[in-house]
A and B are shown apart, each in its own frame.
Chain A
């Protein structure tokens, strides 16, 4: 059974650009959550999707957005990139909307220059 797949693994963007990251959850899983990991702030929750609906949202500016498709694949978008957006972005997949376990992908390393 394939794990959580995040693409791309590495990305370099320029300030002011926008970026889209992709996450394919484990087959059959319907919940996808996104986290930002930085050395200074640690792991911070961005948002969670279940059945194409955003269920929870963390404390991030509106430049951060996401969506989930009918096949449970999810994308997150960051517009008007800032240097501080450089981070490892992790996607987590869960079977149900109120699950007790999350499976993480390897992450996308975004560098903003």
Chain B
């Protein structure tokens, strides 16, 4: 079975400061890794994903995540946050090739302080 742990439930950070949201997973098989973002009263939007290849993946709005197989981690980082980054962030895994069932972490609430 797969499971995802997001170590921080809430992360406050000042505007223009760097941030890291931590995600660890456990799985006995290879998985695909995702970060989704959720704004209030909205669904989930895909931020970035790791399927294979380069372990560093980037999003169009400045976020990046690095897949670390030995540490079973997929931490999300941004060098300089903006007020608009305030949202809930979810790390997720799926085995992909055996269906579309995603396993989500409990989420990290990122609050950017002006």
Contacts from A to B (Cβ < 8 Å): 4, 6, 31, 33, 35, 42-43, 45, 48, 50, 55-56, 58, 90, 92, 94, 97-107, 109
Contacts and interface: CB of A to CB of B under 8 A. Distances in A.
Interface of B: 32, 36, 41-46, 49, 51, 90, 94, 96-107
Question: Which of A31, A104, A109 is most buried by chain B, counting CB atoms within 10 A of its CB?
Answer: A104
Q: Is the interface of B mostly helix, strand, loop or mixed?
A: loop
B22 to A, nearest CB: 16
Given A100-B51, A100-B94, A45 B101 contact: yes
29 contacts: A4-B43, A31-B100, A35-B104, A42-B106, A42-B107, A43-B90, A43-B104, A45-B103, A48-B99, A48-B101, A56-B100, A56-B101, A58-B101, A90-B43, A90-B44, A92-B100, A94-B100, A98-B99, A98-B100, A99-B96, A99-B100, A100-B32, A101-B49, A102-B46, A105-B43, A106-B42, A106-B43, A107-B42, A107-B43
